Amino acid sequence: MKLKEIYSNPNKPVISYEVFPPKEDTDGEKIEALFVELNKLKNYNPSLISVTYGAGGSNQNESVEIIKRIKNNLHITPMPHFTCVSTSEKDIKKYLATLDNLGIENILALRGDIPADGNICHDFRYASELVAYIKKVSSLSIAVAGYPEGHKEAISLKDDVEFLKQKVELGADVIYTQLFFDNSFFFSFVEKCKLTGISVPVIPGILPVTGYKQLEKMAQMCKVKIPAKMTETLQKHSEDKDYIKQYGIEYASKQCEELLSNGVKGLHFYTLNKAYSVSGILSNLNIQEKYNENNI
């Protein structure tokens, strides 16, 4: 099913997950473990599972394997991510043909981070150019990335939203956001998008906190703010993994409740390949019951 159709029901929020191809998985054990987790998460009726793309296509084979299994074994719509920063037009064409052969209908089109070794390919400079290209050569439905607190390289949030608008005008059907921990960033971002003339769904990306060190690293990498209260709580309980996991579930549940009550069209969970926290949040939200068509 294509993105436009997935997000076409205004009364029922769409649940989607992000997973990544496991690293150093020579015997395929980690992929098996990932599908054990995804089978648990299937209980919450996700409409889409997106699969990240390693810098420079480092894990393309594993990504394809995971995409195939999501589609054929789980019977859920997969959405591969794709980055263009280090890839030539020829290789992009080849990858799009692979996706076409697999019957894939959606793609998350990204520029990718500029690699530290500076090894970039100059065929596509920005995600907008990739969006235009995919639109021209394929019938894929295209999603793009948005940044409620601004992309780390952006001169200003205003410029960043203007470039986001360009991606939408060139063919993007949906925007998935960077993680954030303060909903006010998301609400003000959505407002800015609307004022700029962006009318496609903006889907919040939700990361349940599972550890303090990992969170600090991620927040620094993505340039997102951690609320002072959260830092304080996590530092205080840094040795108590169970406490932090439970805190992460409660925090994200409250975040999602507020987002849902403000009418978001979906929730996109950064699962980190584990079911535990996302299951906890979705059980708390009780979406199936609350948004059952008969209850509306």
Binding site for ligand FAD (CB under 6 A): 52-53, 55, 81, 83, 108, 110-113, 126-128, 145, 151, 153-154, 159-160, 163, 176, 178, 205
Q: Which two tokens stand for residue 226?
A: 């951690």
Residue 202: strand pairing partners: 175
**Is 191 a residue of the active site?**
no
> Which segments within 52-159 are labelled E, that is strand?
77-83, 106-110, 141-146
Q: How far is the CB of 164 from ligand FAD (least distance, A)?
A: 7
Half-sphere exposure of 102 (CA within 13 A, CB side): 25
What is the DSSP code string of 196-209?
HT--S-EEEEE---
Of the candidates 18, 37, 105, 149, the residue annotated as catalytic is 18
The per-residue DSSP string of 240-267 comes to -HHHHHHHHHHHHHHHHHHHHHTT-SEE
Which H or E element spans position 4? helix 3-6
| Shortest CB 233 distance to ligand FAD, Å | 25
| Beta carbon nearer to ligand FAD, 64 or 244 | 64
CA gap 168, 142 in Å, rounded: 9
CB of 186 to ligand FAD, least distance (A): 12
Place of tokens 């849902």: 260
Gap between the terminal Cα atoms of the chain: 24
The smaller minimum CB distance to ligand FAD, of residues 51 and 275, is found at: 51
Of 112 and 266, nearer to ligand FAD (C-beta) is 112
Question: Least distance in Å: CB of 69 to ligand FAD?
Answer: 18
Residue 35 or 126 having the CB closest to ligand FAD:
126
Active-site residue set: 18
